[in-house]
Amino acid sequence: VCGDEPAESVEEVRPGIWSIRLPMPGPLAHVFVYVVAADEGVLLVDAGWDSEDAFAAFTEGLHVIGIRLTDVQGVLVTHAHPDHLGLVNRIRRSAEAWMALHSADLPLLRPEVRAAPGRLEAWLEALGVGEDERPELAAAIRVFTGESLPRPDRFLTDGDGLRVRGGDLIVMHTPGHSPGHVCFVHRDEGVIFAGDHVLSEITPNISIHSDLPGNPLGDYQDSLARVRALGDLVTLPGHERRVPVDSRAAQLLAHHEEQLRDARAIVASGSETVREVAERMTWSESWESLGAVDRYLAMGEALAHLVALESRRELVSSEARIRRWRATQRSDSGGRLELER
Ligand SMILES: [Zn+2]
Ligand SMILES: [Zn+2]
């Protein structure tokens, strides 16, 4: 049953693997928790959004499957976003369960508001956000990133195997959407628990923030190539429909190549700061209609594209207070971008 979002809120997607659909706020509206039968009890993949409604839907789902909350032995978290580990503390309170995630996601559990005073403002200035816009953005970001998230009891590493009924879940580190994002590959059942790495309709947000530097888009492209090479496994995603992982990963790779070409062309035509580039890139809505948090995410995504281009030596940036970007000579003459990866 590939290609359909389940109509029922609980579905046995493979023998001994169930999805429970939980409500969450925002346009995605739903997030999936997966229940995987183990030799003793069950493991969960992800733990939804933290709300009374979501917890009620979760316990009702367990009831439909015919297991108790105390059967939960552990919670495997694909990445440390609030819609994937929301119910962990409620579950740990009722069951003697552990929670595990990849250590590279630990910075996400520590809210950005705890950063040194003025650091966020300096970050926004470096992006090219003017003094008039900075206070509004900083306030919205502090609310958006202000919550503390549950701490893990264990860590997951690439290649780890977790024994479940009928096979093993193999941990695959797939950084990009977050630095510690992991997928879980279940070869025997032909599925990959994909978190937010590969979604059927939307392209997952790939952003650089003040707490998360690096080259996440470059990482994401490498991670897409990795899951694409798995062949015809079906995704068990955090949201949306289940799809073949290889063809969707190929689409996402093509999408970002196009975005990279656009971003480079925008810089080549004279936009210098992240703020200016973001405003001219193509988003699902017009720039004017984006709220403060969405503008911040869009700038983080624009920056991820510029940094990826810089790592390919298609762009260079200044080290000044406001980071300014320009296209390199080589790519100006080259026309078509050649991958150096
Ligand atoms: Zn996410
Ligand atoms: Zn998500």
DSSP per-residue string spanning 224-285: HHHHHTT-SPEEEESSS---BHHHHHHHHHHHHHHHHHHHHHHHHTT--SHHHHHHHS--SS
At residue 54, the 3 state secondary structure works out as helix
Q: Residue 153 corresponds to which tokens in the numbers above?
A: 């009891």
CA of 55 relative to ligand 2 center, distance in Å: 17
CA of 81 relative to ligand 1 center, distance in Å: 5
Q: Residue 292 corresponds to which tokens in the numbers above?
A: 């403060």
CA of 132 relative to ligand 1 center, distance in Å: 30
- CA 65/CA 183 separation, integer angstroms: 24
Q: How far is CA 232 from CA 48, 190, 222, 245, 248, in A?
A: 27, 8, 18, 7, 11
Q: Which ligand is nearest to the CA of 81?
A: 1
CA of 267 relative to ligand 2 center, distance in Å: 31
Share of the chain above pLDDT 90, in %: 80
Confidence (pLDDT) at 319: 85
CA of 181 relative to ligand 2 center, distance in Å: 11
CA of 108 relative to ligand 2 center, distance in Å: 14
CA of 315 relative to ligand 2 center, distance in Å: 31
Give the pLDDT band of residue 339 (cuts 50, 70, 90): very low
DSSP state of 150: P
CA of 300 relative to ligand 2 center, distance in Å: 17
Q: In the predicted model, what is the mean pLDDT of the chain?
A: 91
CA of 269 relative to ligand 2 center, distance in Å: 35
- Give the H/E segment covering residue 19: strand 17-23
Region 90-113: mean pLDDT is 89
- Count the residues in the chain: 341
Q: Mean pLDDT lowest for which of 13-27, 108-122, 248-262?
A: 108-122
pTM, rounded to two decimals: 0.91
- Give the H/E segment covering residue 40: none
Q: Which ligand is nearest to the CA of 28?
A: 2
Region 27-41: mean pLDDT is 95
Question: 253-272 burial string, b = 16+ CB within 10 Å, else e?
Answer: eeebeebbeebbebbbeebb
Q: Residue 26 corresponds to which tokens in the numbers above?
A: 């925002």
CA of 79 relative to ligand 1 center, distance in Å: 7
Q: Which ligand is nearest to the CA of 205?
A: 1
Q: Residue 192 corresponds to which tokens in the numbers above?
A: 């990959």
Instruction: State the Cα angle at 247 between 246 and 249, rounded to 5°.
Output: 65
Residue 82: how many other CB atoms lie within 10 Å: 16
CA of 19 relative to ligand 2 center, distance in Å: 15
CA of 318 relative to ligand 1 center, distance in Å: 31
Q: Which ligand is nearest to the CA of 237?
A: 2
Q: Which ligand is nearest to the CA of 178?
A: 1
Q: Which ligand is nearest to the CA of 204?
A: 1
CA of 335 relative to ligand 1 center, distance in Å: 35
Which residues make Cβ contacts (< 8 Å) with residue 48, sequence separation at least 6? 22, 24, 31, 33, 54, 58, 83, 84, 86, 87
Q: Is the pLDDT of residue 116 over 70?
A: no
Residue type, 39: D
Confidence (pLDDT) at 64: 97
Share of the chain above pLDDT 70, in %: 92
